Amino acid sequence: MSRTTERNELAHDSASRAAPRLVLTGRGIVPGRAEARALVTTQTISGWGGIDPSTGTVIEKQHELEGISFAGRILVFPGAKGSSGWSGFFQSSRLLGSPPAAMLFTTVTTKAVLGAVVTRCPTVIELDGDPVALIRTDDWVEVDGDRGRVSVFDAAPTGAGGGAGEGVRVL
């Protein structure tokens, strides 16, 4: 699909979908646009030993997302914890085909920022509201890393799919 076709589809979707429930603005640190269902955690995520990069599944024991995959989801979390291997594990998730569609986080560290850059998924930080508190798991979220804009919808656009990770669109 060409970029022009994608933009035309996005313009059509924007015209036919409901207005967002919430719009946040911040600083885009990785360009690009994606939309998908959100996966929200109030806990920091450990890269090395905390995720399985082949599936994008959080494997850290007693983490609130233990056993849940972030692949193809908008990952909303406070930030990174653990070693500097964090970015390497998130890059591996991209190389193995299971990265998040986009990332939103609140605590800016070199680990999390480098992880977002090497994962190459649109990322917005320093938002004007706390995404961890304002976005719910399974909300439909559009992340525009070029403009630093995050739009939250109560429902996915028609034809976007209904399940977790379905309907991911990298725009």
DSSP string, 96-108: TT---SEEEESS-
Backbone φ and ψ of 6, nearest 5°: -60, -45
Pairing of strands 149-153, 51-52: unpaired
83 carries an active-site annotation? yes
Catalytic-role residue among 83, 92, 93, 151: 83
CA angle in degrees (0–180, nearest 5) for 160-161-165: 100
Amino acid at 164: A
Q: Which residue numbers are catalytic?
A: 83
